[in-house]
């Protein structure tokens, strides 16, 4: 249900003390969502936050909405039930890299495949924080953690690549310290019908500090990040002079003004293209790391399909009530 009530971010903050470590990017995510919600035009009682287990999953406690702090890995499955039960709700999932892609990997890919209309915020810090520092399914090869003291031997997932492989229709990414972009992406995610996955490159100050510093530090970010927008050329850099072109099947960074390259040569971002080839290339790009809405393809949601089939069943099923069902088929009288 839409609303005309004018909320501010404070309306979405609960009275609970926020207990993340000082300096954690989770604070930025929390505030960005609280700032996005007044702009999505939903009543606060119609918004539900569901989480699993992990630092990220404390999230619902800090929101003044309905919420469930669930069990490890199952947030997507719980949220699926809530959304199917009441498609009018705006249902959000707050989950981490371990919660979503290790213990909850099955629910993660199936929620994506079904395209159920959830807003899924993936706090990716490439480490297990709440259990104090083991490697996660996104930790880098060779990364030294408490459970990989000689270096991690398990190759990481790229969440965007995994999601698109699982038929994701919406994928966006932002840096954990980029409140402005995050707020924008959360609004986009809510607008998009179907599962909207927003990956946040979230710095864990205690167990994996600096994991993203080469991408997110103020001094480097303009050259290390490309923020894409649908319909606009993919240009980045401090001087807005770098861009992406296709070189055969691969993306290539070029400099505008060099070798006769002009702005017109730069690829224009099409988030709505159904073919995921280019979107996959974008999510996998390392230099620059691509931010913004990378993929936003319209498709039917699970709820749409459920509603259609229910309508069909109502039309074709000759039994119209439970009482009728009880007496349907072969019955007989005992006198």
Residues that bind another protein (CB under 8 A): 14, 16, 43-46, 48-50, 53, 60-61, 63-71, 74, 77-86, 88-89, 106-107, 110, 306, 309-310, 313-314, 317, 319-323, 325-327, 329-335
Beta-ladder partners of 226: 290
What's the gap between Cα 175 and its chain centre? Answer: 13
Q: Which of 94, 123, 118, 122 is nearest to 192 (CA)?
A: 118
Q: Pairing between strand 242-247 and 250-255?
A: antiparallel
Helix, strand, or coil (residue 270): coil
DSSP 267: P
Q: From the CB of 38, what's the least distance to another protein, in Å?
A: 15
Q: From the CB of 39, what's the least distance to another protein, in Å?
A: 19
At which residue do the structure tokens 């790009």 appear?
285
Six-digit token string for 22: 């000082």
Residue 69 or 213: the one with the smaller Cβ distance to another protein is 69
Residue 93 or 251: the one with the smaller Cβ distance to another protein is 93
Dihedral of CA atoms 228, 233, 234, 239 in degrees, nearest 10, equals: -110
Residue 89 or 197: the one with the smaller Cβ distance to another protein is 89
Q: From the CB of 149, what's the least distance to another protein, in Å?
A: 30
Q: From the CB of 307, what's the least distance to another protein, in Å?
A: 10
Residue 83 or 184: the one with the smaller Cβ distance to another protein is 83
Q: From the CB of 120, what's the least distance to another protein, in Å?
A: 14
Residue 21 or 312: the one with the smaller Cβ distance to another protein is 312
Tell me how many degrees the CA angle 259-261-264 measures, rounded to the nearest 5: 170
Q: Which of 120, 17, 9, 28 is nearest to 62 (CA)?
A: 17
How far lies 282's CA from each of 120, 203, 227, in Å? 20, 22, 11
Give the whole-angstrom CA distance, residue 244 versus residue 256.
10
Residue 132 or 305: the one with the smaller Cβ distance to another protein is 305
Q: From the CB of 45, what's the least distance to another protein, in Å?
A: 5
């Amino acid at each position: 249900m839409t609303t005309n009530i004018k909320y501010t971010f404070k309306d979405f903050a609960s009275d609970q003390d926020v207990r993340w470590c000082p300096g954690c990017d989770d604070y930025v995510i929390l505030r960005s969502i609280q700032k996005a919600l007044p702009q999505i035009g939903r009543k606060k009682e119609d918004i539900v936050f569901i989480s699993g287990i992990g630092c990220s999953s404390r999230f619902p406690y800090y929101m003044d909405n309905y919420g469930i702090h669930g069990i490890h890995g199952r947030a997507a499955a719980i949220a699926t039930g809530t959304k199917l039960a009441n498609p009018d709700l705006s249902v959000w999932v707050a989950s981490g890299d371990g919660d979503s892609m290790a213990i909850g990997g099955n629910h993660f890919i199936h929620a994506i495949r079904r395209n159920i209309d959830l807003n899924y915020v993936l706090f990716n810090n490439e480490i297990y924080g709440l259990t104090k520092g083991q490697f996660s399914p996104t930790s880098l090869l060779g990364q030294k953690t408490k459970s990989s003291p000689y270096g991690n031997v398990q190759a990481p997932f790229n969440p965007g690549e995994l999601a698109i492989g699982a038929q994701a229709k919406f994928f966006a990414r932002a840096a954990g310290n980029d409140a402005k972009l995050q707020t924008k992406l959360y609004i986009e995610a809510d607008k998009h019908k179907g599962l909207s996955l927003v990956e946040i490159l979230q710095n864990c100050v205690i167990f994996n500090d600096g994991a993203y510093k080469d991408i997110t530090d103020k001094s480097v970010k303009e050259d290390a990040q490309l923020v894409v927008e649908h319909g606009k050329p993919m240009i980045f850099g401090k001087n807005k002079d770098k861009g992406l072109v296709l070189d055969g099947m691969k993306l290539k960074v070029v400099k505008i003004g060099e070798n006769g390259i002009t702005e017109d040569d730069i690829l224009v971002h099409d988030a709505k293209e159904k073919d995921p080839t280019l979107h996959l290339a974008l999510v996998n790009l390392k230099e620059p790391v691509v931010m913004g809405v990378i993929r936003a393809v319209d498709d039917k949601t699970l709820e749409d399909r459920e509603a259609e089939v229910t309508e069909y069943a109502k039309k074709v099923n000759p039994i119209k009530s439970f009482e009728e069902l009880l007496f349907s088929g072969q019955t007989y009288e005992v006198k």
